[in-house]
Amino acid sequence: MVRVRFAPSPTGPLHIGGVRTALYNYLFAKKMGGKFILRIEDTDRNRFVPGAEEYIIEALNWFGLETDEDPVKGGPFGPYRQSERKELYKQYALKMLEDGNAYYAFDSAEDLERMREEAKENGKHVAKYDASVRMQMKNSLSLSVEETESLLTKGENIVMRLKIPADRRIGFEDVVRNDVSFDSKELDDKVILKGDGMPTYHLANIVDDHLMEITHVIRGEEWLSSTAHHILMYEFMGWVPPKFVHLPLILKPVGQGKLSKRDGAKFGFPVFPLEWEGEETFSGFREDGFDSDAVKNFLAFLGWNPGTEQEIFSSSELIESFSLEKIVKAGARFDIDKARWYNQQYIIAKDNSEIGEIVSPLLKNANFTYPNEAFLHGFIELMKERVESYNDFAKKGYYFFEQPIIEDEKIARKKWKDENEVHFKALEEQLRTSEEFDPDTVQNIIKTYIAENALSFGAILPILRIAISGTMKGPDIFGMMSLIGQEESIKRLRSGVQKIKTL
Ligand code: GLU
């Protein structure tokens, strides 16, 4: 039985890369008929941010990544919040201590600072608490039993550290990267238990993955080097490690390096699923008018592809096609244009009434009113191929609700001919006397008038269009006029012509 977990730390809003990790875990669990677990890794109380857990859950809900076990609904392996499992970890740390695979250390902040200074003086790139300095530091390996006892009683600066063997290759099989190995010289004696009895991420993570019977650890590449520590701990505990799957980095849209949380503001697009207001404020895909399924589809392709030409995948198609073997090694570039393209495709394909549910509160926010549902759906039908986001409906289609501003002044000026004014007057009259005002009727009136008066389309339609919507880029003019109605169309035609004439 496949059991996978998404294990975020509630240190702030969940970055879009975290959502991708959750998504891949979810897709794999569903594909294999396994379980998808949410575990909150909140042992670092200094970095805990109120609201972050709620944000994570809300984001998963928005994407429809339903969990089988989590801190709220519980499950057979709970609790699923590490702070609520605090008492459980110590025994495993003590076991490693007894077996000589861990030790107590008592170094103060100054001691550690001195160690770093010395490393620098000795020309070392990174200062590590490891086999090379261990015996010069203050710990249960370098001190006598009596000194250790007395420091333990004193109770200051006590931590437990992992004793990394001096000269070993630590290898493991990663599903994406195949054989991975680290020289133990590259690793430091990581703290596994802190003075307050709280485990660090490393200890809590492997204990929980073991106790929760996790079969596959699917996480970001940044955890690859920690995996060597984890593999050692599994070995120390005599446990079989899960399979590891490290997902490729998500890269900045341009230039080097991985996408950072501040790139959103820098490049003008969201890198978080939902808006976040805290010490820092971030925009979200949801508030920017993205469809959650579109973003999901986009994220699925950020580091995976099915090896075919197909790009649009429904949620169930994603589950069906997903496989760990098709995850790519190379970093995936974050291409917001692609996200926008997906969004467009999803909006076009969506039911007008479903779009209506999302768009109607947005129209309300903009103080745009409309007579009925039929108007809303008609508006959506006309606009859906012209928007990139849900927000665009109100933004680009504002003229369905209020007087247009003449955006395309230049074109209006160019197309205006004084001698056509009589025709607009006559057309206005024809429109007024029509008994029907459906798109075909409107079209018929206008086209017939043009033909009967031997005019060109170019003499009438651009001016009409600009009078009605202010722009040449709007949707079908006849549909638009029919929707805003006879009275409003006539009013706009008249006042539009007056305005255009004087440009
Ligand atoms: N708590 C870690 C994080 O915040 C989890 C890493 C892992 O999946 O092991 O990403």
Range list for CATH 3.90.800.10 in the chain: 87-193
The model's pLDDT over 47-73, given as tens digits with 9 standing for 90+, comes to: 999 999 999 999 999 999 999 999 999
From the CB of 464, is ligand 1 less than 6 Å away? Answer: no
Mean pLDDT of 437-441: 98
pLDDT digits (tens, 9 = 90+) for 163-184: 999 999 999 999 999 999 999 9
Strand 216-220 versus strand 243-247 pairing type: parallel
Supply the mean pLDDT for the chain. 96
Average pLDDT over residues 329-336: 95
- Where exactly does CATH 1.10.1160.10 map onto the chain? 261-372
Q: Which atom of ligand 1 is nearest to the CA of 201?
A: 1
**Model confidence at 14: pLDDT above 90:** yes
Q: Ligand 1 centroid vs 143 CA: distance in angstroms? A: 34
What six digits make up the tokens of 469? 């919507």
What local confidence, expressed as pLDDT, does residue 503 receive? 87
- Cα 269 to the chain's mean position, in Å? 11
Question: Two tokens at 488?
Answer: 């409003």
Q: Is 261 a catalytic residue?
A: yes
Confidence (pLDDT) at 196? 85
Domain with CATH 3.40.50.620 in the chain: 3-70+201-250
How many CA atoms lie within 13 Å of 136's alpha carbon, on the beta-carbon side?
A: 13
Nearest to 466 by CA among 396, 411, 401, 417: 411
SS3 category, 199 = strand
Q: Which atom of ligand 1 is nearest to the CA of 9?
A: 4
Q: Which tokens is 114 given?
A: 């001195």
Q: Is the pTM of the predicted complex or chain greater than 0.85? A: yes
Please give the structure tokens belonging to residue 498: 């007056």
Alpha helices in 390-420 (DSSP H): 390-396, 409-415
pLDDT of residue 332: 95
Q: Are 299 and 343 in contact (CB under 8 A)?
A: no
Taking Cα atoms as reference points, which of 461, 466, 478 lies closest to residue 412?
A: 466
The CA distance from 344 to 393, in Å, is: 12
pLDDT of residue 255: 86
Mean pLDDT score, 432-442: 97
8 lines ligand 1 (CB under 6 A): yes
Q: How many whole angstroms separate alpha carbon 140 and alpha carbon 119?
A: 22
pLDDT at 213 over 90: yes
> CA 246 to CA 221: how far, in whole Å?
5
Residue type, 353: S
Bridge partners of residue 162, in order along the sequence? 102
Q: Is the pLDDT of residue 197 over 90?
A: no
SS (H, E, C) 214-261: CCEEEEEHHHHHHHHHHHHHHHHHCCCCCEEEEECCEECCCCCCECCC
87-193 CATH, one of 3.90.800.10, 3.90.550.10, 1.10.10.10, 3.40.30.10: 3.90.800.10
Ligand 1 centroid to residue 220 C-alpha, Å: 8
Give the CATH H-level superfamily of domain 261-372.
Glutamyl-trna Synthetase; Domain 2 (1.10.1160.10)
Q: Residues spanned by CATH 1.10.10.350 within the chain?
A: 409-501
Output the six-digit token pair for 103: 């030790």
User: What share of the chain in percent tops pLDDT 70?
Assistant: 100
Does residue 226 line the site of ligand 1, with CB under 6 A? no
Out of 39-43, 121-125, 273-277, which region has the weakest mean confidence (pLDDT)?
121-125
Burial 24-59 (b: 16+ CB within 10 A, else e): bbbbbbbbbebbbbbbbbbbbeeeebeebbebbbeb
Q: How far is the CA of 371 from the centre of ligand 1 (A)?
A: 50
As a whole number of angstroms, the distance between CA 281 and CA 265 comes to 10
- DSSP assigned state of 135: G
Topology of 3-70+201-250 in CATH?
Rossmann fold (3.40.50)
* Residue 205 CB–ligand 1 contact under 6 Å: yes
Which ligand 1 atom is nearest residue 226's CA? 9
Q: Which atom of ligand 1 is nearest to the CA of 11?
A: 4
Given a contact cutoff of 8 angstroms between Cβ atoms, the answer to whether 336 and 266 are in contact is no
With a 6 Å cutoff on the Cβ, whether 202 touches ligand 1 is no
Catalytic residue among 90, 194, 243, 261: 261
Query: What average pLDDT does the segment 92-115 reach?
Result: 96
Residue 175 has what pLDDT?
97
Name the band, by pLDDT with cuts 50, 70 and 90, for residue 195. Answer: confident
Residue 497 above 90 pLDDT? yes
Write down the architecture of domain 409-501 according to CATH.
Answer: Orthogonal Bundle (1.10)
Q: Give the pLDDT confidence of 276-323 residue by residue, as tens digits.
A: 999 899 999 999 999 999 999 999 999 999 999 999 999 999 999 999
Mutation pick for ligand 1 pocket among 20, 172, 210, 219 (CB with most ligand atoms within 8 Å): 219
The two three-digit tokens of residue 46, written as one number: 């200094």
SS3 content of the chain, % helix, strand, coil (to 5): 50, 10, 35
Q: pLDDT of 148-166, one tens digit each?
A: 999 999 999 999 999 999 9
Cβ of 475 less than 6 Å from ligand 1: no
Sequence-distant (6+) residues with CB within 8 A of 76 are 69
- The pLDDT value recorded for residue 330 is 95
Q: Which of 205, 258, 261 gets mutated to test ligand 1 (max ligand atoms within 8 A of its CB)?
A: 205
